[in-house]
Amino acid sequence: MAEPLAQPVSNLIQAFSRLPGIGPKTASRLAYFLLRADDEIALNLARALEELKARTLFCSVCLNIADQDPCRLCADPQRDPTVICVVEEPLDVQAIERTREFRGVYHVLHGAISPVEGIGPEDLKVRELMARVRRSLETETPVQELIVATNPNLEGEATAMYLARLFKPLGLRVTRLARGLPTGGDLEYADESTLANALTGRSEL
Amino acid sequence: MFLRRLWLDHFRNYRSLDLTFPQPWTLLQGGNAQGKTNLLEAIHYLATSKSSHARVEREVVGWSASEEPIPHARIRGQVERAGQVTELEILFTRRAQGNGFTKQVRINGVARRSLDLLGLLRAVLFMPQDIELVTGSPSIRRRYLDVALCQIDREYCRHLARYQKVLAHRNSLLRQLREGGARPGEPRVAAELGFWDEQLAEHGAHVLARRYAFLARLEPLAAAQHHLLSGCQERLHILYLPTFDPGHLGPQGLQELRAGHYRAPRAPLSPPVPAELAGRLQAHLETHRARELAAGATLAGPHRDDLVFLLDDRELRAYGSRGQQRTAALALKLAEVRAMAAETGDTPVLLLDDVMSELDARRREMVLEALSEVDQAILTATDWEDFTPGFRAQAYRLQVVAGQVRAGGKD
Residue A2 confidence (pLDDT) = 55
Number of H helices, E strands in chain A: 8, 6
Residue B20 confidence (pLDDT) = 94
Bridge partner list, A80: A104
A122 touches chain B (CB under 8 A): no
Residue B98 confidence (pLDDT) = 67
Q: Give contacts of B158 with chain A, Cβ < 8 Å.
A: 192-193
B191 touches chain A (CB under 8 A): yes
In this structure, the strands spanning B404-407 and B396-401 are antiparallel
CB nearest to B176's CB, from A115, A158, A162: A115
Give me the count of residues in chain A: 205
B149-155 mean pLDDT: 91
pLDDT over 90 at B262, yes or no? no
Q: What is the ipTM of this complex?
A: 0.71
Question: Where are the domain boundaries for CATH 1.20.1050.90 in chain B?
Answer: 135-319
Residue B390 confidence (pLDDT) = 84
DSSP states of A55-87: S-EE-TTT--EESSSS-HHHH-TTSEEEEEEEE
Beta-strand (E) ranges in B115-233? 123-126
Q: What is the mean pLDDT of chain B?
A: 89
A192 touches chain B (CB under 8 A): yes
Q: Which of A66, A118, A69 is nearest to A90 (CA)?
A: A66
Strand, helix or coil at A135? helix
Helix B154-179 vs helix A192-200: crossing angle, to nearest 10? 80
Q: For chain B, state the CA radius of gyration.
A: 23
CA distances from A10 to A2, A3, A195 (A): 13, 9, 51
Residue A58 confidence (pLDDT) = 93
In this structure, the strands spanning B377-381 and B25-29 are parallel
Is A154 close to B192, i.e. CB distance below 8 A? no
B195 touches chain A (CB under 8 A): yes
In this structure, the strands spanning B72-81 and B84-94 are antiparallel
Backbone angles phi, psi at B372, to 5 degrees: -75, -10
What is the pLDDT tens value at each position of chain A, 205 positions in all? 456 778 889 999 999 999 988 888 999 999 999 999 999 999 999 999 998 888 899 999 999 999 998 999 999 999 999 999 999 999 999 999 999 999 999 999 999 999 999 999 999 999 999 999 999 999 999 999 999 999 999 999 999 999 999 999 999 999 999 888 888 878 888 877 788 888 988 888 8
A161 touches chain B (CB under 8 A): yes
CB nearest to A116's CB, from B158, B168, B198: B168
pLDDT over 60 at B382, yes or no? yes
A115 touches chain B (CB under 8 A): yes
Residue B97 confidence (pLDDT) = 67
B140-167 mean pLDDT: 93
Q: At A166, which amino acid appears?
A: L
CB B187 within 8 A of CB B193: no
Backbone angles phi, psi at B14, to 5 degrees: -95, 115
Q: How many CB pairs under 8 A join A and B?
A: 42
pLDDT over 90 at B249, yes or no? no
Given pLDDT bands bounded at 50, 70 and 90, which one contains residue B55? low
Contacts of B381 (CB under 8 A, 6+ apart): B27, B28, B29, B354, B356, B357, B387
Is A154 close to B198, i.e. CB distance below 8 A? no
- For A10, other C-beta atoms within 10 Å of its C-beta total 14
Question: Where are the domain boundaries for CATH 3.40.50.300 in chain B?
Answer: 2-122+348-407
Write out pLDDT tens, residues B84-126: 999 999 999 887 666 778 889 999 989 998 888 888 999 999 9
Write out pLDDT tens, residues B304-320: 999 999 998 899 999 99
CB nearest to A165's CB, from B165, B171, B194: B194
Is B173 close to A115, i.e. CB distance below 8 A? yes
Is B172 close to A118, i.e. CB distance below 8 A? yes
Write out pLDDT tens, residues B201-235: 999 999 999 999 999 999 999 999 999 888 878 89
Cα–Cα distance, B156 to B184 (Å, whole number): 32
Instruction: Please determine, looking at this structure, whether the domain spanning B2-122+348-407 carries the CATH number 3.40.50.300.
Output: yes
Is B169 close to A121, i.e. CB distance below 8 A? no
Contacts of B384 (CB under 8 A, 6+ apart): B29, B392, B409, B410
Q: B interface mutation test: which of A114, A116, A148 has the most B CBs within 10 A?
A: A116
Residue A182 is classified by DSSP as: P
B95 touches chain A (CB under 8 A): no
Residue B297 confidence (pLDDT) = 95
Residue B72 confidence (pLDDT) = 87
**Cα-based angle B204, B210, B215 (whole degrees, multiple of 5):** 125
Residue B411 confidence (pLDDT) = 61
Write out pLDDT tens, residues B390-407: 888 889 999 999 988 988
Domains and CATH numbers, chain A: 7-55 (1.10.8.420), 65-204 (3.40.1360.10)
Residue B54 confidence (pLDDT) = 60
Residue A171 confidence (pLDDT) = 92
Q: What is the pTM of this model?
A: 0.83
B14 touches chain A (CB under 8 A): no
pLDDT over 60 at B169, yes or no? yes
Lowest mean pLDDT among A115-124, B322-331, B358-367: B358-367
Backbone angles phi, psi at A135, to 5 degrees: -60, -45
Nearest CA in chain B to A193: B158
CATH of domain B135-319: 1.20.1050.90
Backbone angles phi, psi at A114, to 5 degrees: -150, 90
CB nearest to B172's CB, from A115, A121, A166: A115
Is B176 close to A158, i.e. CB distance below 8 A? no
